[in-house]
Structures are given as structure tokens and as C-alpha cells.
């Protein structure tokens, strides 16, 4: 079975500082990994994905994530946080060895960027 852990319910960071939102996963085969962001009263917006290739993935709004196979991690990062980055962030994984194509989500991490 596939699973995702986001160990922090909330991350607080000052505007202009770098931010990291942590994600670790468990799959039996090769993973597809995704980050989504949810703003209040909005749906899920795609940020970035890792499918194959370069371990450092760049996405929307200046976000990036590094795929680390040995540590089974896919942490989301941004060099300089903005107040407008404050939102709920979800990491998700799809195990390529299963036929369901289901995404398994972490429980979410609320990012609060203080001015």
C-alpha cells in the first residue's frame, strides 16, 4: 500500500526567508510524486510533480522540490517566502505498480508566512 506523511501540521516562516515543507512517502514500486496547494475556499492547484529524471523539480510560483529516493522524501522548498504563499499544502504519491491510478495524499501542512 502507498502512503504519505507530512510530519508538520503547520510551518511558520517570516517573509523573505526560505521555506521547507516536508513530505515522506512509502510505495512498493516507483512513485509519481505531486505537490498541490489549496487556498481558502478554493480547489487544489497543481504546483509541481516528479515523474522521472532530474531529482530537483521546479514548479509554479517559484517552488521547487527535491526527490530523494534513499530517504523516500519529496520536500517542497522556496528560497524566499511571500505572504501570499500562506495556504494549505498537500503532498501526494501514486504507486506505479498498482493499477488504480489513485493518488494518496498526506494530511496537509498549513504554511503561515508572517510579514
Partner 1 sequence: EAQVTQNPRYLITVTGKKLTVTCSQNMNHEYMSWYRQDPGLGLRQIYYSMNVEVTDKGDVPEGYKVSRKEKRNFPLILESPSPNQTSLYFCASTAGQGASGYTFGSGTRLTVV
For the bound state, the minimum distance from the C-beta of residue 84 to partner 1, rounded and expressed in Å, comes to: 19
Binding mask 16-55 for partner 1 (x = CB under 8 A): ----------------x-x-x-----xxx-x--x-x----
For residue 33, give the nearest of 13, 6, 10 by alpha carbon: 6
For the bound state, the minimum distance from the C-beta of residue 90 to partner 1, rounded and expressed in Å, comes to: 6
CA distances from 7 to 43, 90, 102, 107 (A): 23, 12, 22, 9
Binding mask 61-80 for partner 1 (x = CB under 8 A): --------------------
- Is residue 64 a contact partner of residue 80, using CB atoms and an 8 Å limit? no
Amino acid at each position: 500500500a502507498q502512503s504519505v506523511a507530512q510530519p508538520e501540521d503547520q510551518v511558520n516562516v517570516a517573509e523573505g526567508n526560505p521555506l521547507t515543507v516536508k513530505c515522506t512517502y512509502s510505495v512498493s514500486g516507483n512513485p509519481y510524486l505531486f505537490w498541490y496547494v489549496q487556498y481558502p475556499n478554493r480547489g487544489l492547484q497543481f504546483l509541481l510533480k516528479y515523474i522521472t529524471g532530474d531529482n530537483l523539480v521546479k514548479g509554479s510560483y517559484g517552488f521547487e522540490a527535491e526527490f530523494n529516493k534513499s530517504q523516500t522524501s519529496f520536500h517542497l522548498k522556496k528560497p524566499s517566502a511571500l505572504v501570499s504563499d500562506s495556504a494549505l499544502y498537500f503532498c501526494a504519491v501514486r504507486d506505479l505498480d498498482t493499477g488504480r491510478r489513485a493518488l494518496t495524499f498526506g494530511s496537509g501542512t498549513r504554511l503561515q508566512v508572517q510579514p
